[in-house]
Structures are given as structure tokens and as C-alpha cells.
Chain A
Amino acid sequence: MAVTRETAATVKEIEQYKYGFVTDIESDKAPKGLSEDIIRFISAKKNEPDWMLEGRLKAYRHWLTQADEEPAWAKLHYPKIDYQDAYYYAAPKQAKLASLDEVDPKLLETYKKLGIPLLEQQMLAGVAVDAVFDSVSVATTYKKKLEEMGVIFMPISEAVHKHPELVKKYLGSVVPYTDNFFATLNAAVFTDGSFVYIPKGLRCPMELSTYFRINEKNTGQFERTLIIADEGSYVSYLEGCTAPQRDENQLHAAVVELVALDDAEIKYSTVQNWYPGDAQGKGGIYNFVTKRAACRGRNSKVMWTQVETGSAITWKYPSCILQGDNSTGEFYSVAITNNRQQADTGTKMIHLGRNTKSKIISKGISAGHADNTYRGLVRIGAKADNARNYTQCDSLLIGSTCGAHTVPYIETKNPTAHTEHEATTSKISEDQLFYCMQRGMTQEEAVSLIVNGFCKEVLQTLPMEFAVEAQKLVGISLEGSVG
């Protein structure tokens, strides 16, 4: 697919990060810092039932014991985070809405600028969007249509009230509050996120999408997403993220839980484009995310695709627990780091059931002074007869001031399992660049074309609407990396 003209035009038109603007909107904030009171405040704001508050407090109390457990094993360097120096709740001030038409025009304008129209007449065909602005969901499109099919797609804060039985049953069942430092923090303070339930046997005809936006200064975003695909159902879910350009680092610690029951399939795609900080490494989002899928049912399938181009720090390992016999987990990743960005990302494929299969395709691109690490675990349990894993990790280095690292863990306890892992490292050769330029392409176009070729296997797994966007992003993220 041609990436070219539009990319070049976009590169010229925007300076660097086109989502770096701030929306000037009055917001309702909790006081700075983290305490039981703040958690009670968040819970009260959301009008939560007691069981939710209890769950939060339990997580918070556990988190307090974890001060020494903040993960330090990743190949990431950043100053110690002061968890008391952030706001844990910020919401645009607005009364409850009866319809989308009542959404504050400033918000509508914001999402329009981001390419996500929310008004009925402008909505993206075939894509239902939940827009999360700082700590709250501000709008969900195509609600009616989805309801008619039995699909539940709503902010999780709303699902707590409307579908408590589902939330109670599944929330924390894939990522328990004790899972890791950041997941524990999230369980205590999460503010909003999307909830999806696909009923038995339904192939959801629409892409479901959540668009996350951090706007407020010094605010952490802690969203929680829960997707349940009931027996025989299918859903494709997309997630996009941006934030304004600010000098301070901001924390994003999300948790995503996916549950696939018998014969169900979930396709989860992310284009992560949080503000990466400037060329000197000032500012940018700290992205500490726990994403995990439980392939509980027989023949269930989960496919993660991620295009990670943003954030100053990325710490993220979307994983699959392959419990059901014949279940399949796939992970396709493109991670691009430029300037002073650091990414430590990969996946875990835990094979428990028989005939489980996993596939990992990871493409890491490193430029500038950035470091890019693939870290992955493939674990084959003793009972996972005939399990299969194939892993391919390729790194591309652009320039000699960056780093590319591969740290796979492969643990096998079953003799009938087959695992295969390959990793390579390469660079964009002078010959390739010259060849492209001899055919009239600019250097930027040539880099974008070659890198898109390098990432092709991953990008082609994205839904159409995202693939084009992602291809452009690949080019833009590497702007100025050669030369």
C-alpha cells in the first residue's frame, strides 16, 4: 500500500506530534495525591456500589505493601515516580447527557481534531467509538444499534451499575489486583474504560473502538477495559491513544482483561501514540500497561496487534493464557522508538491446554538515542500436549546511537510440544536507501517505505481503518532519524 504522498505531506504539515494540543476545558479534579480518601472520592464520583469500593480499597492496601515491588527488571531508565505528585481523577465538568448532541462542543472539536468524529451524522461507518477523556468516558457512538444485537459496549463505570453480575464475575479474573505493582495501582484508582460483552454466537459486525485522550496536566490515566466474548462469538476491538505535548511526564497505567469462552475469538488492536516527549527526552507519557487474555474455552482465539510509536517509556506485555484445549494466541507487534524513547515490550504465551498454539511476530525499530527491547515468555506446561509456538523477533537499527535488544524466555515441560524461536538484527542499508532515492523518492519516503516493508507482517493484521493510519505513523515517528 502506498504510504508516501500523504505521509510526506503530513510530515511537512505538522511539526512533529500532531496530537500535542491541549483542550481548554473546565474540569472537575480530585486533590493531588493518593490516599484512601481519594479512592473513596473516585468511588463516590462514580456512584459505585460498596463491593466496588471494597475491591479498590483492598487493592490500595495491598499496593501500600508493594513499595519495593515496583518492577525494575525491564531495560528502562527513568527517575523514581512520585505517586503523591499526581492527580488521580479529572473529568470535564458537564452535567449528565441525554444524547451525544449535548456533548460539550469543545470535546467534540477535540475528537474531531483527533480524527474521531462523535456526532451521529459524522460517525465512522462500521466503527463504534467510546471516547475516554482523562478519567471519564465522554461519549459512545452506535449505542442503540449495538444494543439491538445484544452487544454491550459501554463505559465500565456504567457497566458496574447496569451489568454488575458480569463485572463481578470477570473483573480481576484475568489480572488479579495482586498481579503486579501497576496492576494493583490500577485496581485501586481506575477511573473509566470500556466494557464489552459479545453474546453467544454473535459475530459483531462492527469494529468496537475506544479512543483514549489524556488532557489534564499532572494527571494519571488509569483505565480499565474488560472484554468478554461468549461462546462462539467474535469481536474486533481497536484502541487509540494520544495526549498533549507537555514538559512533565505523565503516568498511564491501564489494565486490559480479555476473556474468550468456547469457540470465541477476540481481535484486539492498539495504535499507541501517546506523546513521546521531545527530542531531548523532556516530557512524554510513562506507559505501564498490563494486558492479558484468558483463552478459557476450547478452540478460543485471541489475537493482539500493537503498533507502539508513542510514549517516553513503554512497559507492556499483552499476554495469552491458553487454558482451553485447541486455543490459539497470537501477538503481532511493531514498536518504534526514536530520540530518547524507551520501550520494553513483548508478550507471554502460557500454554496450559492441549493442542494450544501461539505465534509471536515482533518488529522493533530503534532510532536516535532510543532503546527498544523485546521481552517475551513462552511457557509450555507439562499437560500442554502437542503445543506449538513460533516466535520471530526482528530488530531494525537506524543509526549507531540507539540500541535493540531481544530477551526471550522459553520454558518447556512437555515433550510433545514444539517451540521455535528466531531473532535477527538488521539495519537500513545505504544501498537500499540509494536505490529508492535513485527512483525519485525522498529520504523520508524511502525510510518510511523500507520500514513499512519490514513491519508488513504485523501491519497487515490491522483492520483497514487502522492500517492506513499506522503506516503513516511509522513514517512520521521516524522523521529525522536518518541523515
Chain B
Amino acid sequence: MALLEIKNLHVSVGNREILKGISLTLDGGEVHAIMGPNGTGKSTLSNVIAGRDGYDVTQGEVLLDGRDVFAMEADERARAGIFLAFQYPVEIPGVSTSSFLKTALNAKRRAEGKPEIDAMEFLKLVKSRTKALGMADDMIKRALNVGFSGGEKKRAEVLQMSLLEPRVAILDETDSGLDIDALKVVSDGVNALRRADRAFLVITHYQRLLDYIVPDHVHVLVNGRIAASGGKELALELEAEGYAKYQGAAA
């Protein structure tokens, strides 16, 4: 059974159809990249899978380990193993990063029938992960994402990913707002999390990120449809030639 299956997905916002029949299959261990110009539905796809309000699924389904994702609330999907690394992680004043992490981690453990994590054990776990990501120790004491730089925010997203150990991680424009050093650190973090039973869906506008997170499959999303699929060389081709050819084809 595929890990994540997207079948003929149609999504509208208001009266406008944004996704016009997307089908994708992600197996364990795979990294899929979705590339496309701005306003083509890339963020819609990630939001719909994660369960954000405001989108109408008019047709199609998404299955996680064979389970209907649309039958679950956003939090249930998260606990079932869908992780969205946000393009713009939200700030929550007064809530320390560590207390947020602990709450999220315990929500997951509870769903798995495990006891809450012991405070000391939690601290040890977080410290080992922050160290691996080159994050300052005191970062987890700061309010979640409040006053974080672009790089810090993205690192915090990867830190959360590493703690919550998802089945499918969706990276929504993770490279936006990152300089090359930060991009490398974040990518290393993601690569370290690649496992045979985990899949990644990397959404990006530029090929740059894919130099660091090397995909197994690349899909070109144009006007709500997948216009082409291929291997990692497709990304290089897009970088060189742009999307024009597909835009023409789709229109």
C-alpha cells in the first residue's frame, strides 16, 4: 500500500477551481518535488492535505496509509502522521517554544496510547535535536516564532518535524527567505530525517532547494494540473527553460 495517495483531487476556493484533478502516489522512502510558477495551486495542495478551512474539495480523495484523510480534522491528520512545514510559521506570543513542542508531542503520544513524556527526558530529547540543527539552547525558551529570523523559523519547523516523526512531511516553500547557509542547515536537517517508512512532498518554486534535498520524482504543477512528471533532471530542465512551455500546453 502506498503511503500517501492523492486521487483525482479537485479543489475550489469560492467559485474558482484551483486544483483540477491531481493524482500522486508517494511511497515510503521517496521524496517528491512539486514545482510550478506562482499562483498555480501549490500551497492549496499542501493546505488541503493538512486540513486548513476555506477550501472545497469537489472531487477526489487523499489516503494516508489507506485511511481517508478528509474524514479527519486537521489535528487528527497531524496525529496520524501528516506534517506541514509552513511557508510562514505563525507567531504565538507568550507560548514558549518548549511548551508548544511538549504539548504537541504529548498530543501525539496520547493518540498512540503512550504516557506523557517525562520533563527531563523531553529536555534531553529536544537538546539533542537542537544541537543537530545548530540551534541556540535558549531558543526553545523564547515565545514560539516570535521575533525569530526567517532562518530560525524554518529551523524550528524542522525541529518540530524531527520530534513529531511524521509519516508524510510536506515542505511548503521551505526555501523562501533563506540564505544559502541557512538553506544548507535546514536541508541537512531534512535529509537526516529521510527514512524508508517516511515520504516527503517538497513544494518549491526554485530548483535551488532540490540541489540539497534531492528528489526521486519531480512534478510540474501548472494551472491546477500536473503538466509533467519526471526524475530529478526535470528540475534542472525547468531551471534552464522555465515554465513557459508547460503553461502553453496547459492553456
Contact = CB atoms under 8 A, between A and B. Distances in A.
A-B complex: 5 closest residue pairs judged by Cβ atoms: A453-B94, A453-B95, A439-B104, A456-B94, A440-B78
A2 B77 CA distance: 22
Given A430-B53, A432-B92, A437 B73 contact: yes
Contacts of B77: 438
Contacts of B74: 434, 437-438
Nearest to B81: A440
B107 A453 contact: no
B90 A2 contact: no
A5 B104 contact: no
A443 B107 CA distance: 12
Interface residues of A, number: 29
Contacts, number: 93
B43 to A, nearest CB: 13
Contacts of B103: 2-4, 441, 445, 449
Given A2-B103, A452-B95, A454-B94, A435 B78 contact: no
B28 interface: no
A1 interface: yes
A453 B92 CA distance: 7
Contact of B51 (A429, A438, A449, A456): A438
Contact of B143 (A430, A439, A441, A453): A453
11 contacts: A432-B92, A434-B52, A438-B78, A438-B86, A439-B100, A440-B111, A450-B95, A452-B94, A453-B93, A455-B94, A457-B94
B78 A439 contact: yes
B160 interface: yes
A440 B111 CA distance: 9
A441 B103 CA distance: 7
B195 interface: no
A132 to B, nearest CB: 34
A431 interface: yes
B90 A435 contact: yes
Output the residue of A5, A441, A455 with the most chain B CB within 10 A: A441
B79 interface: yes
A180 interface: no
Contact of A443 (B50, B75, B95): B75
B106 A4 contact: yes
Given A449-B103, A457-B94, 20 more contacts: A1-B99, A2-B102, A2-B106, A2-B116, A5-B106, A435-B86, A435-B89, A437-B51, A438-B84, A439-B78, A439-B164, A441-B103, A449-B92, A449-B99, A450-B92, A450-B95, A452-B95, A453-B94, A453-B95, A453-B144
Output the residue of A435, A446, A453 with the most chain B CB within 10 A: A435
Contacts of A66: none
Contacts of B143: 453
